[in-house]
């Protein structure tokens, strides 16, 4: 029973009542319809069943004898078509309103959908004034337009597809690592390190009084992480395969379409590496495996993008994951750039960093396919990158994966494990700054407490890799 103030539109004759005699007592029992999500209803498994479907109206088409609705609940791109007698129509049945429909699932006479719901009853659960609603029926709004409505853009086809794809891609990444024996590590968000030695950091202090030195919450200045690498390296001292997948931060004052202050990173560390191939293999496999998973599980959603949002992209994307990834060295890359007739804004001398324009040219040169660039000049890479000791050039065992449209997708390196070489290089760095509405409900679960609960561990600090608490932000 809905506790909400709702308007119920009912056809009396459709209430299914059955009489039963049990232990000599006469019972009246009303058959409860099975609650289904739209994706379940569309699967066709419940044809003929008395069901209840709830969702948001994506279209209303009143006709003489009938009214047709499309109802979507986020479980699939495809909405469920509802067919009701004209007497069930109501001015409150508008685009964007939330409804509950009971009725029976029938095979649809139309090719477009396999199943439709013949409604007995339609209840408007949440009204929606179509004049105030920023999205209009039958209109395909641009991504820029919908971005203005962060609280509503999930109501559009494009963004709801994006959310389902993002969720599935997250699953795909975790599945790849799990199937390949990697252990997932929740590397900390708040850290007193600065992995990259570069980049703008966000500082973190309790809100309220101004930050006074010597009175830091964590006893030391604390920042939002720019990379989980150093923490993964710690764990990779006992686990030969670890990864992390979580948000990272840059306080870069940029309005560009390539930058975010908060973004998610997948990072992996593999111990006992013998050459850069130990990395490129995992990078390539992960990339292909995740993509294959997404393409297999999000057919309609990916199609929406490839057909309507980013037409023509499918071929280029398929190339990325079908082709075997090429591999060139930085020195070869510089040669390619210098032999080209293209005019670049930035220099292409050996020793200069590859800029986006160079990366894009290299990808194009390689047939618009992904390419690994390896062995960058030692001086371009952070202190922890492994010295190839290949005088006179001197390169580091670092690699970037360049892909069409994006440029650098992945970056990695073998880490300098030789204590003497690392100490020497750290010396050079000592002077640089350092640091690294409808009725709805929900619940929250404290994951550490859950672990304490199943393990019996008394101290919460023992069930998290790097505990942070006041006056303590070690590592």
Contact set for a copy of itself, span 364-403 (CB under 8 A): 386, 397, 399, 403
* 120 near a copy of itself, judged by CB under 8 A: no
Residue 36 Cβ vs a copy of itself, minimum distance, rounded to whole Å: 11
* 471 near a copy of itself, judged by CB under 8 A: yes
Report the 3 state secondary structure along 25-61: EEEEEECCCEEECHHHHHCCCCCCCEEEEEEEEEEEE
Site string for a copy of itself, 159-188 (x = CB under 8 A): xx-xxxxxx-xxx-xx---x--x-xxxx-x
Size of the site for a copy of itself (CB under 8 A): 181
* 414 near a copy of itself, judged by CB under 8 A: yes
What is 387-399 written as a DSSP string? B---TTT-EEEEE
Residue 286's Cβ-count burial label (10 Å; 0-12, 13-18, 19+) is buried
Closer residue to a copy of itself in complex, CB, 134/221: 221
* 30 near a copy of itself, judged by CB under 8 A: no
Cβ(170)–Cβ(176) under 8 Å? no
Q: H-helix or E-strand containing 401?
A: strand 395-403
Report d(CA 123, CA 82) in Å as an integer: 13
Binds a copy of itself by CB under 8 A, chosen from 45, 47, 86, 143: 143
Q: What backbone phi and psi angles, to 5 degrees, belong to 250?
A: -140, 130
DSSP label of 353: P
Closer residue to a copy of itself in complex, CB, 233/393: 233
Q: What is the distance between the terminal CA atoms of the chain, rounded to a whole angstrom?
A: 53
* 240 near a copy of itself, judged by CB under 8 A: yes
Residue 155 Cβ vs a copy of itself, minimum distance, rounded to whole Å: 5
Binds a copy of itself by CB under 8 A, chosen from 60, 88, 93, 201: 201
Tell me which residues in 82-111 interact with a copy of itself (CB under 8 A).
Answer: 98, 100
Tokens 């992904």 found at:
370
**Span near a copy of itself by CB under 8 A; candidates 111-119, 263-271, 339-347, 354-362:** 263-271
**Span near a copy of itself by CB under 8 A; candidates 12-20, 26-34, 112-120, 437-445:** 437-445
**Span near a copy of itself by CB under 8 A; candidates 25-33, 59-67, 79-87, 242-250:** 242-250
Tokens 């997404």 found at:
294
Task: Retrieve residue 226's tokens.
Answer: 């720019």
Binds a copy of itself by CB under 8 A, chosen from 205, 335, 357, 393: 205
Binds a copy of itself by CB under 8 A, chosen from 323, 336, 380, 406: 406
* 131 near a copy of itself, judged by CB under 8 A: no
Q: What backbone phi and psi angles, to 5 degrees, belong to 399?
A: -145, 140
Tell me which residues in 35-74 interact with a copy of itself (CB under 8 A).
Answer: 37, 39, 54-56, 72-74
Report d(CA 279, CA 281) in Å as an integer: 5
**Span near a copy of itself by CB under 8 A; candidates 60-68, 307-315, 343-351, 375-383:** 307-315
Residue 347 Cβ vs a copy of itself, minimum distance, rounded to whole Å: 25
Tell me which residues in 322-361 interact with a copy of itself (CB under 8 A).
Answer: none
- Residue 161 neighbours by CB under 8 Å, 6+ apart: 77, 298, 300, 301, 302, 304, 305
Q: What backbone phi and psi angles, to 5 degrees, belong to 146?
A: -65, -25
């Amino acid at each position: 029973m809905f506790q909400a103030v709702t308007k119920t539109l009912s056809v009396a004759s459709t209430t299914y009542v059955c009489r039963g005699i049990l232990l000599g007592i006469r019972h009246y029992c009303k058959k409860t319809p099975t609650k289904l999500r739209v994706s379940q209803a569309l699967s066709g498994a419940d044809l003929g069943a008395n069901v209840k479907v709830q969702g948001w109206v994506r279209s209303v088409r009143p006709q003489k004898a009938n009214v047709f609705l499309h109802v979507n609940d986020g479980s699939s791109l495809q909405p469920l078509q509802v067919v009701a007698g004209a007497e069930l129509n109501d001015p409150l049945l508008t685009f964007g309103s939330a409804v509950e429909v009971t009725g029976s699932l029938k095979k649809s006479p139309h090719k477009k959908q396999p199943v439709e719901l013949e409604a007995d009853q339609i209840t408007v659960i949440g009204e929606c004034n179509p004049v105030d609603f920023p999205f209009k029926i039958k209109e395909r709004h641009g991504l820029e337009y919908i971005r203005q409505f962060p609280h509503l853009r999930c109501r559009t086809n494009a963004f709801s597809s994006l959310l389902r794809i993002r969720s599935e891609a997250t699953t795909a990444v975790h599945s790849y690592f799990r199937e390949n024996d990697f252990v997932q590590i929740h590397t900390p968000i708040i850290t007193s390190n600065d992995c990259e030695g570069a980049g703008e950091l966000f500082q973190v202090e309790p809100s309220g009084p101004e930050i006074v030195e010597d009175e830091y919450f964590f006893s030391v200045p604390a920042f939002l992480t720019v990379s989980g690498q150093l923490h993964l390296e710690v764990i990779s001292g006992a686990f030969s395969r670890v990864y992390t997948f979580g948000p990272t931060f840059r306080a870069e004052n940029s309005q560009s379409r390539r930058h975010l202050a908060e973004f998610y990173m997948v990072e992996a560390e593999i111990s006992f590496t013998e050459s850069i191939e130990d990395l490129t293999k995992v990078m390539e496999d992960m990339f292909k495996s995740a993509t294959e998973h997404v393409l297999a599980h999000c057919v309609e959603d990916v199609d929406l993008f490839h057909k309507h949002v980013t037409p023509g992209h499918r071929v280029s994307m398929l190339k990325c994951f079908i082709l075997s990834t090429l591999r060139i060295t930085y020195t070869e890359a510089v040669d390619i750039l210098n032999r080209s007739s293209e005019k670049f804004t930035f220099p292409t001398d050996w020793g200069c960093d590859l800029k986006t324009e160079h990366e894009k040219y290299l990808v194009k040169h390689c047939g618009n396919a992904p390419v690994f660039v390896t062995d960058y000049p030692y001086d371009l890479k952070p202190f922890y990158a492994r010295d190839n000791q290949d005088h006179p050039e001197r390169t580091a065992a670092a690699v970037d994966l360049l892909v069409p449209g994006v440029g650098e997708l992945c970056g990695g390196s073998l880490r300098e494990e030789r204590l003497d070489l690392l100490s020497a290089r750290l010396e050079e760095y000592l002077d640089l700054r350092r640091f690294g509405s409808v009725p709805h409900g929900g619940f929250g679960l404290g994951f550490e407490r859950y672990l304490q609960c199943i393990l019996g561990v008394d101290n919460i600090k023992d069930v998290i890799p790097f505990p942070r608490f006041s006056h303590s932000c070690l590592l």
